[in-house]
Amino acid sequence: MSTETFSPGLEGVVAGKTAICCVDQGKLLYRGYPISELAEHVVYAEVAHLLLYGELPTKKQLVDFRTMLDGFHGLPKPVIDAIRLIPRDVPMMDVLRTGVSMAGHFDPVKGTSLDDQRRRAVWLIAVCSDVVSTRYRLLQGKEPVAPKPGIRHAAQILLMSHGSEADETSIKLLDLTLTLYAEHEFNASTFTNRVIASTMSNMVSAVTGAIGALKGPLHGGANEEAMELILRFKNAQEAGAWVNDALAKKEKIMGFGHRVYKNGDHRAHILEREMRKLAEVKGRQDLVAVYDAIKNPIVSKDKPIYPNVDYPCGLTYYLLGLPLDLYTPLFVCSRVTGWCAHFIEQQSDNRIYRPLSQYTGPAERRVQPIDQRG
Ligand SMILES: CC(C)(COP(=O)(O)OP(=O)(O)OC[C@H]1O[C@@H](n2cnc3c(N)ncnc32)[C@H](O)[C@@H]1OP(=O)(O)O)[C@@H](O)C(=O)NCCC(=O)NCCS
């Protein structure tokens, strides 16, 4: 008798063990710490240290970590030249995938010891934000900006994109989204990354593959699509009418639903609260009214579907004045840390991923040589 189980999309399947992150109905923990406490008390560099090294850094470790990250900023000239050659209309996520892959040819870390892999991960954090900010500037006819040592990673991304230091509110909110996006267990892109790691391939290949997976609108691409949806409506009435119609037609609404969370996404609660404060400061209650007009009918259905982190994130980034094409790439700038932590964990206790499939093709048949096929 067959012991195989069929689970489309691997739903409900435990495909591996991890000490990095726990995603449960009631909680989200990074290495044991609740996301709400991390969101309140630490900055992204501390989260990155926690995910890669297993513990929150001491003050000295944080300085050392930042020094290492600062030292890795600045793309090699051939990578900048390659980014220049990519046609203007290519989406930023595709540029990021190519940029990371190209930068991989100039990997400054040579070995594969645990320390080398952690340093390579820190280098990849710098590469991702450098590719995004470089491309953003080149599209505006401007040259890349040098990093400023010792500042928060969110501040660095904004400085290297805009060419001037950002205000504290923007830095704080971008930093919060980076913390919330940093890690989420065996989601599609992390699983892609772990599958590549399980072949004992290299870290750059795994991150490049993961970027491809994150791009899709059912995964990271949802933050951009959720904001595009909000911008489609002139007011709350229009949005409300549309959403009721969409629900009746069983359309998927971007930024809602989750494979694991069925009672709401912790990250969405945290970010929505901050987004509302920001909207008030910016005087954009009109956008929040549309946001609520889309959300309310979905969460008050008989079978409610709750916003995931991408729904408030789209509007947060919009209120911060960031262009839509940067939303999912900023997700990468954060999640690259989680991917690299999983890469290291996978290779430290590896078993290659190789599930089975259910064959639905033709029954066995005989090959006819070409001159008998008519
Ligand atoms: C995230 C997602 C891919 C999870 O998919 P899943 O686990 O396969 O969930 P299902 O598609 O089986 O959804 C279960 C039910 O909720 C409904 N549902 C799920 N997400 C929905 C959404 N965003 N809008 C409307 N209905 C949704 C499904 O239609 C289904 O209804 P049914 O039981 O009446 O058929 C899915 O919710 C989705 O596509 N969301 C939109 C994209 C998104 O925001 N992605 C970011 C995720 S962090």
Structural domains in the chain plus CATH codes: 17-215+334-348 (1.10.580.10), 222-319 (1.10.230.10)
- Which single residue is written with the structure tokens 């209120």? 319
Residue nearest to atom 9 of ligand 1 (CA): 259
Tell me how far apart the alpha carbons of residues 213 and 6 are, in angstroms, rounded to a whole number.
Answer: 23
- Is any atom of ligand 1 closer than 6 Å to the C-beta of 314? no
**What's the pLDDT tens digit per position in 268-324?**
999 999 999 999 999 999 999 999 999 999 999 899 999 999 999 999 999 999 999
Residues with Cβ within 8 Å of residue 134, at least 6 apart in sequence: 75, 80, 83, 99, 144, 160
Q: In sequence order, what DSSP letters do the residues of 211-242 get, joined into one string?
A: HHHHTSTTTTTHHHHHHHHHHT-SSHHHHHHH
Residue nearest to atom 8 of ligand 1 (CA): 259
Question: Best substitution site from 214, 256, 271, 298 to test ligand 1's pocket, by max atoms within 8 Å of Cβ?
Answer: 256
Q: Which ligand 1 atom is at minimum distance from the Cα of 246?
A: 25
- Distance from residue 343's CA to the centre of ligand 1 (Å): 28
- Distance from residue 206's CA to the centre of ligand 1 (Å): 27
The pTM assigned to this predicted structure is 0.96
- Distance from residue 257's CA to the centre of ligand 1 (Å): 5
Tell me how far apart the alpha carbons of residues 116 and 203 are, in angstroms, rounded to a whole number.
Answer: 11
Q: What is the pLDDT of residue 2?
A: 58
Question: Best substitution site from 252, 298, 299, 300 to test ligand 1's pocket, by max atoms within 8 Å of Cβ?
Answer: 252
Q: What is the pLDDT of residue 335?
A: 98
- Distance from residue 308's CA to the centre of ligand 1 (Å): 10
Q: Which ligand 1 atom is at minimum distance from the Cα of 9?
A: 8
- Distance from residue 336's CA to the centre of ligand 1 (Å): 25
What is the chain's length? 374
Residue 159 half-sphere exposure toward CB, CA atoms < 13 A = 15
Is 258 marked active-site?
yes
Is 219 marked active-site?
yes
Tell me how far apart the alpha carbons of residues 263 and 75 are, in angstroms, rounded to a whole number.
Answer: 42
Residue nearest to atom 39 of ligand 1 (CA): 218
- Which single residue is written with the structure tokens 């991923």? 353
- Distance from residue 252's CA to the centre of ligand 1 (Å): 6
Provide the residue-wise pLDDT of the chain in tens; the chain has 374 residues: 457 889 999 999 999 999 999 998 889 999 999 999 999 999 999 999 999 999 999 999 999 999 999 999 999 999 999 999 999 999 999 999 999 999 999 999 999 999 999 999 999 999 999 999 999 999 999 999 999 999 999 999 999 999 999 999 999 999 999 999 999 999 999 999 999 999 999 999 999 999 999 999 999 999 999 999 999 999 999 999 999 999 999 999 999 999 999 999 999 999 999 999 999 999 999 999 999 999 999 999 899 999 999 999 999 999 999 999 999 999 999 999 999 999 999 999 999 999 999 999 999 999 999 999 98
Neighbour count for residue 103 (Cβ, 10 Å): 25
Q: What is the pLDDT of residue 79?
A: 98
Q: What is the pLDDT of residue 116?
A: 98
Tell me how far apart the alpha carbons of residues 306 and 5 are, in angstroms, rounded to a whole number.
Answer: 29
Catalytic residue selected from 70, 107, 116, 219: 219
